[in-house]
């Protein structure tokens, strides 16, 4: 075997020392993936398979680094690879839903949000750190809160609850109502925009023969305009979720995170528009 000189890692390590999870590059870039040339399922795959190539290069508008910061800044001798997700442009309405954590297939990146770019977490590509070292870095998460929110989005993407099908059917009318009213200039629209997230707890478990559901409508702590009428709007949506079959009781509570106990939080699961509306179609 031909001898290969040890690569010089110092320049790459120096360039990546300032990079953090969520940092981005914007411009004309290419996302690579493989396809089955006999059964392509994407437009890019169909084009590539026409030439009998199973390697596809899809043009994207940039990348967000999703590798954890601790691995990103380690020497490329020990950690030579970085994971990136492509940036995609989204509509203003969807941008707000992503910011609130309701579209788990996207990651909210404040540094590129003014251009309505978000990280498409359904697509991940592995590249060597030397590639990133040549990029012009855009700070993606300028504040600690931004970094925590992205880390949570990445965790939820891999660990979100697989709700039972009968619950998806039960809750879909509620979620469709909330999705349709969220951006309306109305009292109900204001209420929904003031919510941080919606969580649901199934007691004693999701797959018990008889299940009691509790919905927590968690409002933002700093939204002091939240009033009693907003609580009424949240509660008025619950009749769209009617008890039946295994779900024998349904209740709802409007709270802030400070109001929830740690047990209530860890024993409940977040609802997201993308997961429920997709499965219910």
DSSP code per residue over 39-98: S--SHHHHHHHHTT--EEEEEEEEEEE-S-HHHHSS-TTT--EEEEEEEEE--HHHHHHH
Instruction: Using DSSP bridges, classify how beta strands 247-255 and 211-219 pair: parallel, antiparallel or unpaired.
Output: parallel
- Residue 1 pLDDT > 60: no
What per-residue confidence (pLDDT) applies to 276? Answer: 41
> Residue 231: CB partners within 8 Å, gap ≥ 6?
254
- Summarize the confidence of residues 171-182 as an average pLDDT: 73
What per-residue confidence (pLDDT) applies to 182? Answer: 65
Task: Give 16-45 pLDDT, tens digit per residue.
Answer: 999 999 999 999 999 999 999 899 999 888
User: For residues 44 and 42, what is the distance between their CA atoms, to the nearest angstrom?
Assistant: 5
- Residue 2 pLDDT > 80: no
What per-residue confidence (pLDDT) applies to 13? Answer: 95
Domains of the chain, residue spans: 10-159, 165-279
Task: Give 211-269 pLDDT, tens digit per residue.
Answer: 999 988 888 766 555 566 656 666 666 655 666 678 888 888 888 888 889 999 889 98
By the 8 A CB rule, do 247 and 211 touch? yes
Report which of 66, 67, 60 is spatially closest to residue 32, judged by C-alpha positions: 60
Instruction: Using DSSP bridges, classify how beta strands 125-128 and 81-89 pair: parallel, antiparallel or unpaired.
Output: antiparallel
Q: How many CB atoms lie within 10 A of CB 270?
A: 19
The CATH number of domain 165-279, selected from 3.30.310, 1.10.287, 3.40.50, 3.30.460? 3.30.460
- Indicate whether this model's pTM tops 0.75: no
User: For residues 83 and 64, what is the distance between their CA atoms, to the nearest angstrom?
Assistant: 9
Higher pLDDT, 258 or 59: 59
> Residue 243: CB partners within 8 Å, gap ≥ 6?
249, 250
User: For residues 256 and 260, what is the distance between their CA atoms, to the nearest angstrom?
Assistant: 7
Task: Give 94-148 pLDDT, tens digit per residue.
Answer: 888 888 777 889 999 999 999 999 999 999 999 999 999 999 999 999 999 999 9
Omega cis (within 30) before 204: yes
User: For residues 110 and 100, what is the distance between their CA atoms, to the nearest angstrom?
Assistant: 12
- Summarize the confidence of residues 60-66 as an average pLDDT: 97
- Residue 281 pLDDT > 50: no
Q: How many CB atoms lie within 10 A of CB 145?
A: 10
What per-residue confidence (pLDDT) applies to 231? Answer: 63
By the 8 A CB rule, do 169 and 248 touch? no
Give the rounded percent of residues in the chain with a pLDDT score beyond 70.
Answer: 80
What per-residue confidence (pLDDT) applies to 275? Answer: 43
């Amino acid at each position: 075997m031909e001898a290969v000189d040890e690569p010089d890692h110092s320049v790459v390590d120096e360039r990546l020392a300032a990079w953090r999870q969520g940092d981005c590059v914007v411009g004309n870039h290419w996302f690579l993936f493989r396809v089955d040339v006999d059964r392509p399922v994407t437009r890019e795959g169909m084009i590539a398979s026409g030439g009998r190539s199973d390697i596809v290069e899809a043009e994207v508008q940039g990348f967000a680094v999703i590798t954890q910061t601790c691995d990103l800044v380690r020497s490329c001798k020990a950690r030579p690879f970085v994971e990136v997700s492509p940036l995609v442009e989204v509509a203003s309405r969807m941008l707000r839903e992503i910011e609130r954590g309701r579209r788990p297939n996207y990651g909210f990146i404040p540094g590129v949000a003014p251009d309505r770019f978000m990280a498409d977490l359904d697509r991940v590509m592995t590249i060597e750190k030397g590639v990133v070292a040549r990029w012009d870095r855009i700070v993606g998460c300028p504040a600690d809160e931004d970094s925590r929110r992205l880390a949570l989005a990445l965790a939820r993407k891999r660990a979100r609850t697989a709700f039972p099908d009968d619950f998806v059917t039960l809750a879909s009318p509620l979620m469709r109502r909330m999705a349709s009213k969220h951006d309306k200039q109305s009292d109900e629209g204001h209420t929904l925009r003031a919510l941080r997230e919606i969580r649901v707890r199934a007691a004693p478990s999701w797959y018990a023969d008889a299940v009691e559901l509790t919905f927590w409508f968690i409002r933002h702590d700093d939204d002091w305009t939240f009033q009693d009428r907003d609580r009424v709007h949240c509660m008025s949506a619950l009749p769209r979720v009617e008890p039946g079959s295994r779900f024998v009781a349904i209740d709802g509570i409007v709270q802030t995170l400070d109001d929830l106990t740690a047990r209530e939080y860890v024993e409940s699961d977040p609802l997201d528009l993308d997961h429920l509306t997709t499965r219910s179609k």
